[in-house]
Amino acid sequence: MEHSGLIPTQLRRYRDRGAPDLHLQFGNRQLAQLVSVVLVAVVMTPVAFIIIRAIGAGQEGIEYLLQARNLRIVGNSIALMVTVTFLASLIGVPFAWLTSRSDLPGQRIWLVLGLLAMVIPSYLTAVTFTDAFGPKGALQQLLEPIGVDRLPNIKGFVGACLTLTFVTFPYVLLPVRAALLYSDRSLEEAGHSLGLNRWQVFAKITLPQLQPALAAGMLMVALYCLADFGAVAVMRFNAFTRAIFLQTESFRMDKASVLALVLVAMTVLILMLRSRVQHRGRHYRIGTGANRQLQTVQLGKWRLPAMLFCGTVVFVGVFIPLLVLLDWLSGRTLTNPIHVSMTELLRNTVGVSTISALTVAVAALPLALLALRASSRIDRWLVNLAYTGNVLPSIVIALALVFFASQNLLSLYQTLPLLIIGYSIRYLPFSIGATHSAFAQINPRYEEAARSLGLSARAALLRITLPLARGGILAGLALVFLNVMKELPTTLILRPIGFRTFATRIWSAYDEAFLSSIALPGFVLILVSGLVLIVILRHNDSLH
């Protein structure tokens, strides 16, 4: 509690005893708890369902899992995750360093371009990569003069790695760059003065300091790889999500549930591993130090290679997808004879994303309040459970909901509310996190002042706290919006009959090789995502 020194003694004692806080002491607490219990119940439904189905599969389920083919799925997913996490760090860390510490020209432009790679949906990147790097693709045409007749097919492990690396490296870039900007540079100066050269300083001082940020980024990448469906589906790499999708699509509930349970267990395992690693060592500064501007590192003769590096990364991750889409727009392939207006797609996509983002934002409010003022074990458990979405890849949520609804909840089967519930469970943690940290940054004295001037607790919450937290809440909202808009497996499985979004339109066009019909929805999707990214970035301190 960074503000606790400013709170009158009596109140502080109150807080020290873990007594209910101002917001929640006048009946609001019970309300927040009650609502949270309901929300957590909804959030937990898919897991519960999967566990019940998987256990129900019993002996047969275990036999199915132990078939060599299915064990290979585990190996495939792990191999993909490890390789991509490594490669994404290999790109993300230097990219972060170059755009924060060096005198690389056009730092901000490189940064924004690099981050754009993150908003291009993985399935779109994958589809364009298969075209550009295919046996007879653009790359082969380029190499034809030097006698390359055909290239090996990149579908499978190579293609999935390539795609996911370029989609996920920004998840390393962002936290590492923030850490580079705010870490204690006097240590590096000390290193220099003790005779280390630049590389040694980086390896021995900077890198260890970056470890928590790097670990956080790598964790994001690892979880992304496990949960991603688009890239592995397009590249036909048999990772968990693709295998689960195949079973779900054919409505083979037990097999899908068994696979899903293993996937969730793996995700939980990785998160546990993270929390063990994270609690080791000390990376913060002890003294306040002076956060002064350190001179940027002169790249000198390294400037050209540095620009080449950033240029290649941005070219592959952002411009190749865009260029391939542009090529398709010119229509050298079959077009989908079914015409769907852009307006319909835009209305559906933006409509459902907005409603989902709002739903999630509102649902996150009581949970964020509980998180902030958690004073009992129950509160803490509720908040922790609400984060379940973090360990549930969308495909798992979708499969649970579609089976659950088709058997037990027919009135929601194939309806929009079920689709929105699916999105909400997955992305609720994003919103709780954003709202929580927005609340945490508000000096409680404002609210205390409002209370002392006669406002009720609820009025103080609505008129003081919420308006102050608006920025953070909106940023969370935008993040959820962005993710829902790109979301593929949930939309494919849970959408009402005839409901089309950009994602489903792109998917069906890919399915039937109507590449020209991918182009326009692809462009619009990237454009809207890019705009939302800007909104999020404006709120993100690490970019100032």
In the complex, the residues that contact other proteins under the rule CB under 8 A are 69, 72, 134-136, 150, 153, 155, 236, 238, 243, 246, 249-253, 333-338, 351-352, 355, 358-359, 362, 406-407, 410, 413-417, 420, 459, 462-463, 466-467, 496-499, 508, 510-515
Closest CA to 485 of 359, 321, 346, 350: 350
Nearer CB in complex with other proteins: 327/379: 327
- Please state the closest distance from residue 204 (CB atom) to other proteins, in A: 45
Cα 284 from Cα 203, distance rounded (Å)? 18
- Please state the closest distance from residue 361 (CB atom) to other proteins, in A: 10
Nearer CB in complex with other proteins: 74/270: 74
Contacts of 523 (CB under 8 A, 6+ apart): 322, 325, 329
- Please state the closest distance from residue 98 (CB atom) to other proteins, in A: 37
For the record, the structure tokens of 298 come out as: 């002169």
Burial of 393-409, coded b for 16+ CB within 10 Å and e otherwise, reads bbbbbbbbbbbbbeeee
- Please state the closest distance from residue 247 (CB atom) to other proteins, in A: 9
Cα 423 from Cα 483, distance rounded (Å)? 9
Nearer CB in complex with other proteins: 381/413: 413
Determine the 3-state secondary structure of 297 from DSSP: strand
How many angstroms separate the first and last alpha carbons of the chain? Answer: 25
Nearer CB in complex with other proteins: 187/466: 466
CB-based contact 87:79 (threshold 8 Å): no
Closest CA to 295 of 542, 93, 101: 101
Determine phi and psi for 102, rounding to 5 degrees.
-100, 175
* Residue with the two structure tokens 């404002």: 446
- Please state the closest distance from residue 521 (CB atom) to other proteins, in A: 15
- Please state the closest distance from residue 232 (CB atom) to other proteins, in A: 11
CB-based contact 127:333 (threshold 8 Å): no
Q: Please write down the HEC assignment for all residues of 142-162.
A: HHHHHCCCCCCCCCCHHHHHH
- Please state the closest distance from residue 159 (CB atom) to other proteins, in A: 13
* Residue with the two structure tokens 């790598």: 218
Nearer CB in complex with other proteins: 91/127: 127
Nearer CB in complex with other proteins: 185/500: 500
For the record, the structure tokens of 492 come out as: 């494919």
* Residue with the two structure tokens 């119940």: 41
- Please state the closest distance from residue 393 (CB atom) to other proteins, in A: 19
Nearer CB in complex with other proteins: 112/329: 329
For the record, the structure tokens of 11 come out as: 């109140």
Closest CA to 197 of 205, 305, 186: 205
Q: 117 burial class (0-12, 13-18, 19+ CB within 10 angstroms)?
A: buried
In this structure, what is the dihedral angle of CA atoms 101, 105, 107, 111, given to the nearest 10 degrees? -120
CB-based contact 356:232 (threshold 8 Å): no
Nearer CB in complex with other proteins: 135/471: 135
Nearer CB in complex with other proteins: 14/499: 499
Cα 419 from Cα 352, distance rounded (Å)? 9
Nearer CB in complex with other proteins: 70/99: 70
Helices (DSSP H) in 414-515: which residue ranges? 416-440, 444-452, 457-460, 466-486, 489-494, 502-511
- Please state the closest distance from residue 351 (CB atom) to other proteins, in A: 6
Determine phi and psi for 316, rounding to 5 degrees.
-70, -45
- Please state the closest distance from residue 73 (CB atom) to other proteins, in A: 8
In the chain, the amino acid numbered 119 is V
Q: Please write down the HEC assignment for all residues of 229-262.
A: CHHHHHCCCCCHHHHHHHHHHCCCHHHHHHHHHH
- Please state the closest distance from residue 525 (CB atom) to other proteins, in A: 20
Nearer CB in complex with other proteins: 106/496: 496
Nearer CB in complex with other proteins: 153/278: 153
- Please state the closest distance from residue 261 (CB atom) to other proteins, in A: 19
Nearer CB in complex with other proteins: 371/515: 515
- Please state the closest distance from residue 141 (CB atom) to other proteins, in A: 11
